[in-house]
Amino acid sequence: MLNALIFDVDGTLADTEAAHRAAFNSAFAQEGMDWHWDEALYTRLLDVSGGKERLLHYWGIRHPEVRDVGGAGVRDTLGRLHELKTAAYEAMVNDGAVSLRPGVLHLIEEAHQAGLHLAIATTTSPVNIAALLRGAIGPDWRQFFGIVEDASTAAIKKPHPMVYLQTLRRLQLPASQCIAFEDSANGLQAARAAGLLTVITPTRFTAAHDFSGALKVLPELQGVTVAKLQAWHTQTAA
């Protein structure tokens, strides 16, 4: 029996990556750095989950001579960059630069009315989640999502299943009663490692990823209903 839907955020609930890329570049400019992430580079960097982790990875590429890339000086610099990036992203979201993907809000509302549990399992920060959903759903967005697991609660990022395992524990449901929604290969690997059936809606940043093992790969969630999800879930369990 299908009892819960678990959503990733970036790329899944909303196609946020263009705004994230612009926010990173804004932070670099504010700090007077010569870094600039074009779309091709950013697409490759998305193989690393988590904004702070992405910055640390790129620092290692740009400064291979720095052996202790986790040292206090580097951490302080990257922490400041991430704070600037987060502020820039929040401003963009508040200005309406990002919206939910087609079909997402309708499915959330229908699932909520049908009594399904709704949860978020993401590697993004609580600030980013709140900015997006406050603007897209309203100040009472938490009435839909009783459980939110994010970068502040899951130390090990996707493709590790930590964030999904924690979400399942808080839901007090087995993976067999849930469906996850993702947009990337890392997300799919994390969800599958936690035993979850997973619906994928790629973006242009993740369209070339390997989605082998997904329950469905769809261009968007427009037209996806609770009844369809229940049917797919039942067919797979049969």
Cβ contact 168:178 at 8 Å: yes
Give the dihedral sign, CA 93/97/98/99: positive
- Pairing type for strands 178-182 and 4-7 reads parallel
Q: How many residues does the chain have?
A: 238
- Please give the structure tokens belonging to residue 225: 């209903």
Q: Which of 8, 15, 150, 183 is catalytic?
A: 8
Which segments of the chain does DSSP mark as H helices, in order? 17-30, 39-45, 51-62, 72-94, 104-113, 126-136, 162-171, 185-193, 226-237
Annotation marks residue 10 as catalytic = yes
Nearest to 130 by CA among 175, 174, 164, 98: 98
Q: Provide the 10 A C-beta neighbour count for residue 149.
A: 22
Annotation marks residue 76 as catalytic = no
Cα 159 to Cα 45: distance, rounded to the nearest angstrom: 14
DSSP per-residue letters across 55-83: HHHHHHHH-TT-S-TTSHHHHHHHHHHHH
Burial of 194 (0-12, 13-18, 19+ CB in 10 A): buried
Q: Which of 10, 15, 150, 183 is catalytic?
A: 10
**Residues with catalytic function:** 8, 10
